[in-house]
């Protein structure tokens, strides 16, 4: 088994554990021909959401999230029609981050910032701490370019 496969499995295990601790149900699809790794089940609503898991090792300043996968059997660039969430396990911070498709749709990569930038930029920054939960709240965040929208069951 290759290093990439091992890291992917670790990422999936950490995300599954995190979601279960938060009280979500998790299902694992069979096969490699779907563009998602997990199905998140919201018990309170019965809602199902597709989750693509990413493993990364940040530099302690930023988490780089690639919005694509390439392997011997599949090649995907994730869109909102493919997945609802990118769940990112960062081995450096040992945390899981959840990015909704309304944030990453159309991007090839996005950056979640762990610390303030050296140039003191404040606009258009996606702070990693805003993506610690797979929920979105309407109206949160005033800049539509950096939504951590939280979708609450109706």
pTM of the complete model beyond 0.85: no
pLDDT, position 63 = 97
* pLDDT for the residue 11: 96
**Structural domains of the chain sorted by starting position, each given as residue range(s) with its CATH number in brackets:** 3-140 (3.40.1350.10)
Tens-level pLDDT at each residue, the chain (154 residues): 568 789 999 999 999 999 999 999 999 999 877 889 999 999 989 999 999 999 999 999 999 998 887 766 666 788 899 899 999 999 999 999 999 999 988 788 899 999 998 888 888 899 999 999 998 644 333 333 333 333 333 3
SS3 assignment for 51-99: EEEEEECCCCCEEEEECEEECCCCEEECCCCCCCEEEEEECCCCEEEEE
């Amino acid at each position: 088994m290759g290093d990439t496969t091992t890291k992917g499995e670790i990422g999936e295990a950490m995300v599954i554990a995190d979601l279960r601790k938060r009280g979500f149900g998790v299902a694992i699809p069979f096969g490699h021909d779907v563009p998602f790794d997990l199905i998140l089940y919201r018990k309170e609503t019965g809602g199902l959401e597709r989750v693509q898991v990413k493993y990364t090792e940040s530099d302690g300043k930023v988490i780089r999230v690639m919005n694509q996968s390439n392997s011997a059997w599949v090649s995907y660039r994730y869109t909102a029609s493919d997945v609802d969430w990118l769940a990112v396990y960062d081995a450096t911070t040992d945390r899981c981050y959840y990015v909704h498709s309304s944030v990453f749709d159309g991007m090839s990569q996005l950056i979640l910032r762990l610390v303030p930038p050296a140039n003191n930029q404040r606009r258009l920054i996606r702070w990693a701490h805003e993506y610690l939960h797979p929920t979105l709240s309407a109206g949160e965040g005033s800049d539509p370019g950096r939504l951590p929208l939280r979708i609450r069951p109706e």
